């Protein structure tokens, strides 16, 4: 048997509840918020967005033969002619057109019908329907969108509409209460609340956006909806969640409204959204990398690749340089730099603080506009290397060979050696794989197999050595500690 008890404190003349004693000794530091006024005043300016997109099938349905008994189990997933689902494009012949409908959220920023949402909510849609809280529906026109910023601007033919107030996301602090309004899973005008978990949070696929991280429960359908502060001002656009299940798991990310509205201003003028560009690929500095580059602590953004003829190349920046400041602002990690640069106009002149070979330096750099096609900027090939001999690097336990003309074209590199095989050893432990291209060792360029063999043979044992590796369309540094 389990007994349920209520605690009391004994005092002269009677008993006081424990809660009363605690309240009398210490006043509460914060009061619980009441979100009702925000929802009543600005909830009508939040809209639901439904889109219709036409897609084309690329597969022929079930992977099993027509007479296979497994088809009865998998038909609901793949579809089959004459079965449910086949009229939705699943199981139809390749080239069959079908329609996909999706839901999202948005908010009205002007009484004459301009609406802001996330670009992924409306991208590719042939039809966009906006529904207001008074159940009026409008067909929306897409004014413009930025896929990279994930912001879109819509226009509906209406006047005297309720609008939100735009706040200042630059004043947002960790711990502040925030409120999200949207249509999770199609449940219109749902309200959820939480606190700011972090600001200026970079994400790998969106380096130009300094996301607001919160614990506000948002789910599919919330995308594009507003994130309010306690003044009822929109300080973010709910954009994405970190999840393994497809649903909310405590990590939500919103686009800061200052960043989003800069894009909206350009979209309203039918301009392409501008992003400042340095022409580098960067990575974080680990403790091992810091040691290998003769640095006292692991800070800054390590340059792993410099685009030919880009702003960084013109300024004299090299792979292996570590950027520790930009325009007077400290750079503690690689995620900080892209949003700093992206917000600047083309032609902006800045001081770039770097560490090269363990020594501080300052370079002058001029920001340029991000090219529309980054692939063309790096698509340069050269004649095949005259060195055609394969070689084994016994100290690393790998086999390497010269770059073929095809590899040069696919990887957009002109120098380096191709890793053909990797056996157990220090290279495998560091993460080197077959198909990688070794570009530098100890900040020395590797032009052919014999150069690599000589470099590895000359390096001291049991000391961290930086190795620049090309994999796919990106370059990065790893650290090797060579055996004796």
Q: Catalytic residue positions?
A: 120, 150, 223
What torsion do the CA atoms of 433, 436, 439, 444 make, to the nearest 10 degrees?
10
Count of H helices and E strands in the chain?
12, 31
**Dist. CA 204–CA 93, nearest whole Å:** 36
Length of the chain: 484
The angle at the Cα of 47, spanning 44 to 50, to the nearest 5 degrees, equals: 155
In Å, how far from its chain's centre is CA 83? 40
- The one-character DSSP state at 238 is E
Structural contact between residues 220 and 118, judged by C-beta atoms closer than 8 angstroms: no
- In this structure, the strands spanning 226-228 and 177-182 are antiparallel
- In this structure, the strands spanning 233-241 and 165-166 are parallel
314: left (phi over 0), alpha (psi -120 to 50) or beta: alpha
- The one-character DSSP state at 89 is T
**Dist. CA 202–CA 208, nearest whole Å:** 8
The angle at the Cα of 185, spanning 222 to 72, to the nearest 5 degrees, equals: 140
């Amino acid at each position: 048997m389990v007994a349920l008890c209520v605690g009391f404190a004994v005092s002269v003349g009677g008993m006081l509840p424990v809660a009363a004693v605690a309240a009398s000794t210490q006043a509460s530091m914060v009061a619980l918020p009441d979100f009702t006024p925000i929802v009543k005043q600005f909830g009508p300016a939040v809209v639901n967005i439904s889109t219709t997109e036409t897609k084309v099938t690329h597969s022929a349905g079930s992977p099993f033969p027509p007479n296979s008994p497994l088809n009865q189990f998998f038909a609901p997933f793949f579809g089959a002619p004459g079965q449910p689902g086949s009229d939705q494009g699943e199981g139809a012949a390749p080239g069959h057109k079908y329609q996909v409908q999706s839901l999202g959220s948005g908010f009205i920023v002007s009484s004459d019908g301009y609406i802001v949402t996330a670009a992924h909510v409306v991208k590719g849609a042939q039809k966009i329907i906006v529904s207001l809280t008074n159940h009026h529906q409008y067909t929306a026109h897409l004014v413009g969108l930025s896929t990279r910023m994930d912001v879109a601007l819509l226009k509906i033919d209406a006047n005297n509409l309720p609008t939100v107030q735009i706040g200042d996301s630059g004043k947002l602090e960790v711990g502040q209460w925030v409120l999200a309004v949207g249509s999770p899973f199609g449940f219109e005008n749902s309200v959820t609340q939480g606190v700011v978990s972090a600001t200026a949070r970079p994400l790998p696929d969106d380096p130009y956006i300094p996301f607001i991280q919160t614990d506000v429960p948002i789910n599919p359908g919330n995308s594009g909806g507003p994130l309010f502060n306690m003044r009822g001002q929109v300080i973010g656009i709910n954009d994405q969640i970190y999840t393994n299940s497809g649903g909310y798991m405590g990590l939500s990310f919103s686009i800061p409204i200052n960043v989003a509205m800069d894009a909206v201003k350009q979209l309203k003028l039918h301009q392409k959204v501008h992003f400042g560009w340095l022409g580098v690929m960067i990575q974080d500095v680990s403790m091992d990398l810091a040691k290998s580059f003769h640095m006292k602590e692991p800070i800054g953004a390590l340059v792993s690749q410099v685009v030919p003829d880009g702003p960084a190349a013109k300024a004299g920046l090299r792979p292996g340089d570590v950027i520790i400041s930009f325009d007077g602002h400290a750079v503690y990690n690689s995620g900080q730099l892209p949003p700093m640069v992206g917000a600047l106009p083309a032609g902006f002149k800045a001081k770039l603080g770097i560490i090269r070979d363990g020594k501080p330096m300052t370079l002058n750099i001029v920001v340029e506009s991000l090219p529309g096609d980054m692939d063309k900027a790096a698509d340069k090939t050269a004649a095949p290397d005259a060195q055609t001999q394969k070689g084994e690097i016994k100290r690393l336990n790998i086999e390497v060979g010269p770059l073929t003309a095809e590899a040069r074209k696919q990887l957009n590199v002109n120098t380096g050696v191709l890793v053909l095989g990797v056996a157990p050893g220090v290279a495998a432990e560091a993460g080197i794989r077959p198909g990688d291209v070794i570009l530098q060792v100890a900040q020395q360029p590797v032009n052919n197999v014999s150069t690599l063999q000589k470099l590895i043979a000359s390096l001291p044992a049991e000391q961290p050595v930086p190795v620049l590796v090309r994999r796919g369309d990106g370059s990065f540094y790893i650290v090797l500690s060579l055996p004796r």
